[in-house]
Chains A and B, each alone.
Chain A
Amino acid sequence: MVKILVIDDEKGIRLGTQRLLEEDGYLVETAENGEQGIRLGTSINFDIIIIDLKMPDYDGLEVLKEIKKAFPNTICFIATAYASYDTAIQSTRLGAFGYIPKPFTPEEFIYQIELGIKQRTLILDAENLKLEREANLLEIASEKSRLNTIIKSIHDGVFVINKSGELVYYNYAAIRYLNLADIKIEIGDSILYKLPLEIIAIIDKILNSDKILLKTYTSQIEILPNNELVIEAACTPVPNPDGSLAGVVIILSNITQFKKIELIKSQFVSMVAHELKTPLAAVQGFINIILDDSISINDEKRKDYLIRSNVRLESLTALVNDLLDISRMEIKTKQREIEDVDIKNIIINTLQLLEFELKKKDLFVDSSIQKKISNIKADYNEITRLFTNLLSNAIKYNKDKGSIFITVNEENNFICIKIKDTGIGLKQEERDKLFNEFYRAKNEKTRGISGTGLGLSIVKKIVESYHGKIEVESVFGYGTTFIIHLPINTN
Chain B
Amino acid sequence: MPLIAIIDDDPDILDASSLVLKSKGFDVITALNPNDGFKIVVEKKPDLIILDVMMDEPDDGFFLAQKFRKEKIQTPILMYTSVSKTIGLDFDKSEMVPVDDFVEKPISPDELVDKVVTLLKKAEERK
A contacts, CB < 8 Å to B = 267, 270-271, 273-274, 277-278, 280-286, 288-289, 292, 294-297, 305, 308, 312, 442
Contacts and interface: CB of A to CB of B under 8 A. Distances in A.
B83 to A, nearest CB: 4
Interface of B: 9-10, 12-13, 16-17, 19-20, 23, 54, 56, 82-83, 85-88, 105-109
Contacts of B10: 278, 282
Contact of B82 (A278, A286, A292, A305): A278
B12 A308 contact: yes
Contacts, number: 64
Contact of B106 (A267, A270, A285): A285
17 contacts: A267-B88, A271-B86, A274-B82, A277-B82, A281-B13, A281-B82, A282-B106, A285-B13, A286-B16, A288-B20, A289-B19, A292-B20, A292-B109, A294-B109, A295-B20, A295-B109, A305-B16
Given A286-B12, A288-B109, A312-B12, 6 more contacts: A274-B54, A280-B106, A288-B20, A294-B109, A296-B23, A308-B12
A396 to B, nearest CB: 18
A109 B20 CA distance: 117
**Considering residues A277, A280, A312, which has the most beta carbons from chain B within 10 angstroms of its beta carbon?**
A277
Nearest to B81: A274
**Considering residues B23, B82, B105, which has the most beta carbons from chain A within 10 angstroms of its beta carbon?**
B82
A286 B10 CA distance: 13
Nearest to A308: B12
Listed from nearest, the 3 A-B pairs whose CB atoms lie closest are A285-B16, A282-B12, A281-B105
Contacts of B13: 281-282, 285
B7 to A, nearest CB: 15
Contact of A274 (B17, B23, B83, B106): B83
Contacts of A274: 54, 82-83, 86
A283 to B, nearest CB: 8
Nearest to B82: A277
Contact of B108 (A270, A288, A305): A288
B23 A295 contact: yes
A280 B19 CA distance: 18
Contacts of B9: 442
